[in-house]
Structure 1
């Protein structure tokens, strides 16, 4: 079968090109990038996991003002309650970093993570968001029925064939097969027995997932250009998801120091760490990660570790100091471009892919 850019994924999501923006939670003001990707023919995705209900609603309204095209919103599924086992040891290990940044020391009573999942999902249903994507697991059968009753499509991230099969059985319309090259959090459903997540490369994962499910598969992890798109389509995927590729775009809300760190990095710069959030994620190795690795201290589980380190990350960003920020990035950073418009990036990827396919 010849490789075609107008895949089944394009029909399901009503998009021109099989290119999906990854939902990157925690980066401010991403509505312009989401809309720009959708306007260019891809599928923009808002990373909403850490947003308050009002922030989420405002962001959705901003996206709708900027585009009439389809877009998605990503939320975290099955985030458990706070756990404070080993809190004192972890908290003590962070104090030298706090002192370095001028951040106040914190007690256990001050660390509480807000869980807005039900309110977030309710807003997505009220706003009739075209596509909902999930990370860390699947919507419950009850939630899935509510979403499906409104005609909203569901896309879920997986890191193993077993997770992909579960997603299809639950009723997902599309699966994102995330290889270990991907930046940011691993989408692994259960990391209790996998401290580093399921570390299967994109090239190995995608065809195996494709062979075991009957719904469209999107390839994610290390894909940066038309070559990666064509390779993914050749492996049986119906499209690609990219996050790192758009972080240095003109419309990205990423901090300028973060963008510079990405542009200065190489394929050897990133590591998978649970130091910032308590869940495995790929990012550029900096002083925070090195400090944590040297301490040999086990982090708190997600989301408590993430809440405990947030003040440190925010202070580091305000001081234009990349050494204590979470610099999430995939392994393809040598292929990044500086300040190109998202639409130009998509057009370049599509033209390169067409050139390869017609060769």
Structure 2
């Protein structure tokens, strides 16, 4: 059966999707973007099932427009004691700056399966996923709940894997993107063919070399994904470094049905980041971001700060996500509460220098005007030839 058109399925007036930013986005942001004609997605990767239900209800109180929820596809880890002790010892001096002791958290992460049940119960218009892949049965369960399913891909193989399990669309996330890389397939291992092949790869976690190999720019990734998925009738959404209407028009010229923009909305009034984070974004220049594992254990792009520099030598040895993320959580919260950016994970994409602080509805209006102007300029160039 053909998948539904993305624009029609989501009642999109504009091809603008606000990317999920777990820990930084808010129900107010998602609602404002949807109400303005875009499409808001609320990051729920670190929300409990109860918090997911509360946040969903808050979005619905603010708008009657459709919106989405996003989850991290992950298993709860069981790290060995030596790994944890070594990581705590490494972080102890940083915690001491705030008069705190590094300690093992109550839990490493939320239970994905409980979160998934909460998502099905919430019935958002879009169910979006990153860090891994669902089974075909899970996708069918979401379809039965009326959800349009979007998976994140950093390679063509990952895009095809999502098509195999029945996703409606794939968000092709270029290396320019801020925050965590969504890579989930080993790049050196060919994907087997046929139904169920994608699910069979779930146990094979990508290595650091795989993450490095999957650092493909959006201009290269999007058209390749579109060509690969066209026979499957799976929509492609472009993400990574898109900050204005020109970027939206460029993505559409490549064949993307819409764009997903995270960093552009991060500076909006409704986002959940504090003053220190906002100031760091305002002061950033185009060359200030790096991809690092030191904050969370999974490669993620953010603004360089003292903590990143201090731990840089340990890039390859910190525990994998979510263990490192949980171990640094209290430190990052203390830094935020103190109004200091030096120990924050300042997730931001390569376009961070182009952020425009303003209400989300105003930004959507500006993006629409720029997009229409870019389309008109392209049409004029075509007519001139």
| TM-score, L = length of structure 1 | 0.93
Q: Is the 8 A contact 1:21 1:37 kept in 2?
A: yes
- 1:18 matched to 2:37? The reply is no
Residue matched to 1:43: 39
Secondary structure of the residue aligned to 2:242 is coil
Identify which range, 110-119 or 120-129, moves more after superposition.
Answer: 110-119
Q: Which residue of 2 aligns with 1:77?
A: 73
Matched, 1:345 2:363: yes
Contact 1:270 1:284 in 2 (8 A): yes
Separation in structure 2 between the aligned mates of residue 88 and residue 120 of structure 1, nearest angstrom: 29
- The aligned counterpart of 1:235 is 254
CA positional deviation for 1:40: 0.7
1:127 aligns with 2:122: yes
Using the alignment, how far apart are the partners of 1:266 and 1:8 within structure 2? 38
State the partner residue of 1:355: 373
Aligned residue number for residue 4 of structure 1 = none
Worse-matched range after superposition: 190-199 or 285-294: 190-199
Call closer, same or farther: CA 1:205–1:296 in 2, change over 3 Å.
Answer: closer
Q: Partners of 2:310 and 2:277 in 1: how far apart? A: 19
- Structure 2 gaps of 5+ residues are 186-205, 378-385
Q: CA RMSD in A?
A: 1.7
Asked if 1 retains the 8 angstrom alpha-carbon contact of 2:75 and 2:111, the reply is no
2:112 corresponds to 1:117: yes
Measure how far apart 1:115 and its partner are.
Answer: 3.0
Q: Distance in 1 between matches of 2:145 and 2:315?
A: 48
How many residues are paired up? Answer: 349
2:188 matched residue in structure 1: none
Deviation for aligned residue 1:331: 0.6
Shift of 1:141: 2.1
**Cα gap change, 1:62/1:111 in structure 2, threshold over 3 Å: closer, same or farther?**
closer
SS at match of 2:271: coil
Q: For the Cα contact (< 8 Å) 2:21–2:42, is it kept in 1?
A: yes
Q: What is the Cα deviation at residue 282 of structure 1? A: 0.2
Distance 2:213 2:267 in 1: 26
* Contact 1:33–1:342 (Cα < 8 Å) also in 2: yes
Which range moved further: 224-233 or 251-260?
251-260
Pick one of 265, 284, 290 that aligns with 2:309.
Answer: 290
Whether 1:164 and 2:153 are equivalent positions in the alignment is no
Instruction: Determine if the alignment matches structure 1 residue 198 to structure 2 residue 214.
Output: yes
1:327 paired residue number: 346
Change (3 A) 1:298 1:182: same
Against the structure 1 CA distance between its residues 259 and 141, is the aligned structure 2 distance closer, same or farther, given a 3 Å change threshold? same
1:9 alignment partner, one of 6, 11, 18: 6
Q: 1:319 to 1:197 in 2, by over 3 A?
A: farther
Instruction: Quote the residue 1:224 is aligned against.
Output: 243
Q: Distance in 2 between matches of 1:240 and 1:293?
A: 32
CA distance in 2, matches of 1:114, 1:49: 9
Q: Given the superposition, is the C-alpha separation of residues 89 and 197 from structure 1 closer, same or farther in structure 2, using an over 3 Å criterion? A: farther
* Bigger mean CA deviation after superposition, 142-151 or 179-188: 142-151
Q: Is the 1:183–1:221 Cα contact (8 Å) retained in structure 2? A: yes
Give the structure 2 partner of residue 210 of structure 1.
226
Q: How many angstroms does 1:27 deviate by?
A: 2.3
Unaligned 5+ residue runs, structure 1?
A: 1-6
Deviation of 1:120 after TM superposition, in Å, equals: 1.6
Distance 1:279 1:63, change over 3 A: same
Deviations along 1:232-278, whole A, 9 cap, x unmatched? Answer: 00111111000000111111111111111111101111100011111
1:165, 1:314 → 2: CA distance? Answer: 38
Give the 3-state SS of the residue equivalent to 1:263 in structure 2.
helix
State the secondary structure of the residue aligned to 2:88: helix
Deviation at 1:194, TM superposition (A): 2.3
Query: How far did residue 103 of structure 1 move?
Result: 1.5
Contact persistence 1:22–1:242 (CA under 8 A):
yes
**Given the superposition, is the C-alpha separation of residues 174 and 352 from structure 1 closer, same or farther in structure 2, using an over 3 Å criterion?**
same
